[in-house]
Amino acid sequence: MNPTLKAVADLLWSAEQTGEAVAPVREQIEQGAQGGDVLQAAYQVQQDLTQRRLDAGGRLVGRKIGLTSVAVQRQLGVDSPDFGALFADMAVGDGEEIAWSRLQQPKIEAEIALVLGRDLPHSRHTVADLINATAYALPALEVVGSRIRNWDIRLADTVADNASSSLFVLGTRPVKLSRLELADCGMVMERRGDQVSVGAGSACLGNPLNAAVWLANVMARMGTPLRAGDVLMTGALGPMVPVQRGDVFTAHIEGLGSIRAVFER
């Protein structure tokens, strides 16, 4: 990685460690791409940050998929999702209080998580491959966050910043895919009883399995294929919602049950 991209990685690493958000990094990434692929350059920064977490003792447990909403893709001027890394220390228990000090400009969204029972090593996968490889599905909440000040992001910013990831909450009742029609899974998210987000599985690239196929193909081509045991956060089922201190969110996902995120006062 060239010095310009290394400097971007240093900046984002410092922002995560100190909690101090920084100005957008997209112009530096464009310069670091040196006339080449800006998206590839942004993923180089992300991979450098992933390796730093691994070197510090972090355990990689899966991947998150972002930008699965067509409306959000249009807003950022892209035509495909992006992805980030999930680490064990990003996982929060259902209903466990989340310390405010762990968060940076937090927002929350409800998702369907898939947990793999088999590896996905091929350069091209089918929906059948994903069905066969998925051990079970869980309701999930993703707490997204940004190291970029005021969420002033474009594609290169969010990709470099680990797809604006922060924490994730998984439900505890696994459900086999044979008992679900993922595209039709309705979702309602409430903040202390007030409805704040509504959606369905079809909001996630038409079906969360489509997002999972995309991710499996990309990760295999990058030489880091998805493995048995990986958690896949497949993307938002409805609009994400800003989080304030003391908030309690409950998401109800049809066929999967409910899940709760509790934030420190």
pLDDT tens digits, one per residue of 155-166: 999 999 999 999
Phi, psi angle pair for 95, to nearest 5°: 85, -5
User: Which percentage of the chain shows pLDDT scores above 90?
Assistant: 93
pLDDT 10s digits, 218-250: 999 999 999 999 999 999 999 999 999 999 999
User: What CA–CA distance (Å, rounded) separates 234 from 203?
Assistant: 11
pTM, rounded to two decimals: 0.95
Is 72 a residue whose pLDDT tops 90?
Answer: no
Cβ distance 160 to 260 under 8 Å?
A: no
Distant-in-sequence, close-in-space partners of 5: CB < 8 Å, separation ≥ 6:
28, 29, 32, 41, 44, 45, 48
Percent of the chain at pLDDT above 70?
A: 99
Q: Which two tokens stand for residue 244?
A: 């304030």
Which segments of the chain are extended strands (E)?
60-66, 82-87, 91-92, 97-98, 107-116, 134-144, 167-170, 186-191, 194-200, 231-236, 241-242, 248-253, 257-263
- Residue 75: per-residue pLDDT: 66
Query: CA 90 to CA 84: how far, in whole Å?
Result: 12
Query: How far is residue 12's CA from residue 26's CA, in Å, rounded to a whole number?
Result: 12
How much is the pLDDT for 212? Answer: 98
Q: What is the mean pLDDT of residues 37-58?
A: 97
Give the three-class secondary structure for 17.
Answer: helix
- 79 pLDDT band (50/70/90 cuts)? confident
Q: In the prediction, which pLDDT does 92 show?
A: 97
CA distance 105 to 142: 13
What pLDDT is stored for residue 74 in this prediction? 73
Distance of CA 208 to the CA centre of its chain: 13
